[in-house]
Homo-oligomer: A and B are copies of this chain.
């Protein structure tokens, strides 16, 4: 019935839920706790909101450890938020300027792992080189060769444990980057090695010259400029 559109409207009609959706507009997956913060409500309230958003097919949830990561259910949802922002007065807040958008698209942190163009290219290259291979579900299994590479990089990861590496669908690239503990460790190590650097306070990440050289060298890939 036509009633159904009002259900969707009601979902975005709450301030707390709207703040959550806006926070997820860049395709990041955020845990419930962080969404409670941005929504400025208690964790209990946030949980109720998130349940409704998932039930309403506006969000999808991916459990990962003791966290539960929520992300927009798809581009259609982003379109809806954009259509709403057009009608809303003073909507400029989350309008990213194109320059910054390009920055985000090229490299950014997806919570604690590397996303964007660099993230997906890294993931692809690693699989081409046989460092890890797809396992069941969205998981990756790190190979012997991969373990060596990680060790040489200074990363120790318990590759025996299930779920140490997971595929995460990248918002802007529509391809997968690597998430899970492995993704987190890689991200941290790249920061330590000075291959990438955080920009400002946000999620944007800059690939350093050193980082570009090392990645292209070690993984035999070519990253596009900027």
Contacts and interface: CB of A to CB of B under 8 A. Distances in A.
Given A10-B10, A13-B10, A13-B13, A5 B85 contact: yes
A81 B5 CA distance: 8
B76 A5 contact: no
B1 A6 contact: no
Contacts of A2: 18-19, 22, 91, 93-94
A3 B212 CA distance: 40
Contact of A11 (B4, B9, B18, B94): B9
Contact of A5 (B5, B7, B91): B91
Nearest to A90: B4
* This protein's copies in its complex: 2
A90 B85 CA distance: 24
A110 B8 CA distance: 29
Given A79-B86, A90-B1, A93-B1, A6 B10 contact: no
Nearest to A14: B6
Contacts of A6: 12-15, 17-18
A174 B5 CA distance: 27
Contacts of A86: 76, 79-80
A77 interface: yes
Given A76-B87, A87-B57, A94-B2, A18 B9 contact: yes
